[in-house]
Amino acid sequence: MSRHVYKPMLAKVAPDAFTDKDWIFEVKWDGFRGISYIEDEAFSIKSRNEKELKYNFPELSELAKLASNIVVDGEIIVMIEGKPDFQALLERGQATSAGEIRKQTNKAPASYIVFDILEKDGKSLTKLPLMERKKILKDSLKEGPHVFLSDFIEEKGEDYYKAVLDKGLEGVVAKNKESSYEEGLRTGSWRKIKKLKTCDCVIFGYTMGAQAREKTFGALVLGLYNKDGKPVYVGKVGTGFTQEMLGDLMDKFEKLKTDAVPFKPEAGDKISWLEPKLVCEVVFQVVTKDLRLRMPRYKGLRDDKLPGECTVDQLVELKKIEASFETENKLSEYESKRNFQQTPEPVGGEKKGEKQIFVIQEHHARRLHYDLRLEKDGVLKSWAVPKGFPETATQRHLAVQTEDHPFEYAKFEGSIPEGQYGAGTVKIWDKGHYQAKFWDENKIEFTLEGQRLNGRYVLVWLKKAQGKEKSWLLLKGKE
């Protein structure tokens, strides 16, 4: 057997599917991660927390006849009616007696989907590119009744993701073709894209049940660990339980009761506190700004996860990705109109200072106009103003809303080449900070604090300008 115990490479959460020739896409299976060590006619399957899994899944012993002297990575799943069933898998993993294991094996046989090879004939392969490892895997492991090689497609991640969801599966994992196998790390070379957001949480207690749940519990009290190793409350989950789950959980809770209070509960909650020994997976819709789970639903216990692995980084990373993706979406029109190999304009991204900035750029294109840009939500909201800024409250100048621009555009001056969108010379006419007094889809009131302009201005959307949904009026407000 390999003397080295490998830690599984991890995938970062991605907000949506994508198409890229440098990536491959595989099904994200809803199962137990397992690294298998196969030597001669002996084998071992270790979970993420190094628990031996082969005794609970004896049908996977066929691995010893399908390969020799290799270490592979894969996912153990149980299929019920053509779909992975995590609850059935959980029951398989919790069986202890030989009779119960045999019964569960016959009732719900497991499959092992192998997607990577880490070692062959005592030599580590982790530094090789993914596609080279895939080729070695195919040459080194035969498939059997319970062991399969993971299928994948190249480039067309969006189409594949849609097809996977249509089959009722959880999502896909995107992997860079050149990625090495980075043990225990979550670098972004692998990305998981799921229809639903999930989080692995520690169960710190439960609230009292009522009516039909009077003898069990109302909701689980969930927490995660911060960077200092202290527990942080992230919410409660009271849905997603079967009657059997409620009973099984109460049996486990009896041995874990404690008087220790890890964090302040919500007002009015009467909680039975538990030692933080159990990890559960929760499906949810939104993470709030204070990192609370909204509309969570219980999915099941995760015996393959250690409580210490359940950190707030799961939610912090998700919030960062969502914010980044929102900005990317805002700038998609800007990017689609430009060839950045030819124009000196910035590609840009999201940035934000303590005060919101504005810039007015004098743009000598086919016709001279001025571009007003106001920072909002990490980008520059933009309007082309053909006649410049009104000087009195009686003047009304047309302002045509254009695509959002990246924050870096506030510093841009230069010549956009002929043949490119907006060809001509751009120079900064005024810049500074601004304060938004009111902002909705129909009206924006703001005060400029610039080098040239100071004072109150108003943008009003021209609802009645048919076919000109981007037309606004720019007015100088009364001080």
Judgement on whether residues 212 and 101 belong to the same structural domain of the protein: no
Specify the 3-state DSSP secondary structure of 145.
coil
Domain assignment present for residue 333? The answer is no
Judgement on whether residues 71 and 162 belong to the same structural domain of the protein: yes
> Of 194, 211, 239, which residue constitutes the final position of a domain?
194
Token pair of 311, please?
């950190």
- Which amino acid belongs to residue 422? G
At 324 the pLDDT is 56
Residues 115-136: b if buried by 16+ CB within 10 A, e if exposed: bbbbbbeeeebbebebeebbee
CB 248 within 8 A of CB 217: no
Distances (CA, A) of 279 to 106, 266, 306: 28, 21, 7
* Global confidence as pTM: 0.56
Domain assignment present for residue 242? The answer is yes
Judgement on whether residues 103 and 228 belong to the same structural domain of the protein: no
Judgement on whether residues 289 and 212 belong to the same structural domain of the protein: yes
Judgement on whether residues 246 and 357 belong to the same structural domain of the protein: no
Question: Which of 7, 12, 21, 28 does the annotation list as catalytic?
Answer: 28
Neighbours of 68 (CB within 10 A): 17
Judgement on whether residues 175 and 262 belong to the same structural domain of the protein: no
Neighbours of 34 (CB within 10 A): 26
Judgement on whether residues 447 and 382 belong to the same structural domain of the protein: yes
> Of 144, 176, 194, which residue constitutes the final position of a domain?
194
CB 428 within 8 A of CB 369: no
Judgement on whether residues 36 and 176 belong to the same structural domain of the protein: yes
CB 149 within 8 A of CB 99: no
Judgement on whether residues 210 and 127 belong to the same structural domain of the protein: no
> Of 150, 166, 194, which residue constitutes the final position of a domain?
194
User: For the chain, how many structural domains are there in total?
Assistant: 3
How far apart (Å, rounded) are the C-alpha atoms in residues 5 and 2?
Answer: 7
Domain assignment present for residue 329? The answer is no
Q: Which residue has the tokens 């949904």?
A: 469
Judgement on whether residues 206 and 311 belong to the same structural domain of the protein: yes
Judgement on whether residues 287 and 410 belong to the same structural domain of the protein: no
At 207 the pLDDT is 95
CATH assignment of the domain containing 45: 3.30.470.30
Token pair of 225, please?
């660990």
The segments of the chain whose pLDDT lies below 50 read 466-467
Domain that holds residue 407: 344-476
Distances (CA, A) of 454 to 112, 373, 476: 68, 15, 10
**Planar angle of CA 227, 232, 235, nearest 5 degrees:** 140
Token pair of 358, please?
């504005």
Judgement on whether residues 97 and 203 belong to the same structural domain of the protein: no
CB 25 within 8 A of CB 172: yes
At 304 the pLDDT is 87
Distances (CA, A) of 51 to 97, 307, 401: 17, 14, 59
Domain assignment present for residue 300? The answer is yes
Identify whether 120 is a catalytic site residue: no
CB 278 within 8 A of CB 231: no
Domain assignment present for residue 332? The answer is no
Domain assignment present for residue 110? The answer is yes
Domain assignment present for residue 31? The answer is yes
Distances (CA, A) of 208 to 215, 236, 264, 282, 294: 9, 12, 17, 20, 20
At 479 the pLDDT is 66
How far apart (Å, rounded) are the C-alpha atoms in residues 186 and 146?
Answer: 29
At 323 the pLDDT is 60
CB 110 within 8 A of CB 76: yes
Q: Where are the beta strands (DSSP E) in 188-242?
A: 190-194, 197-207, 220-225, 231-237
At 352 the pLDDT is 59
pLDDT in tens, 281-319: 999 877 877 788 888 999 999 988 899 999 998 887 776
Residues 179-214: b if buried by 16+ CB within 10 A, e if exposed: bbbbeeebeebbbbbbeebbbbbbbbbbbebeeebe
CB 426 within 8 A of CB 346: no
Domain assignment present for residue 339? The answer is no
At 327 the pLDDT is 58
How far apart (Å, rounded) are the C-alpha atoms in residues 51 and 210?
Answer: 37
CATH assignment of the domain containing 219: 2.40.50.140
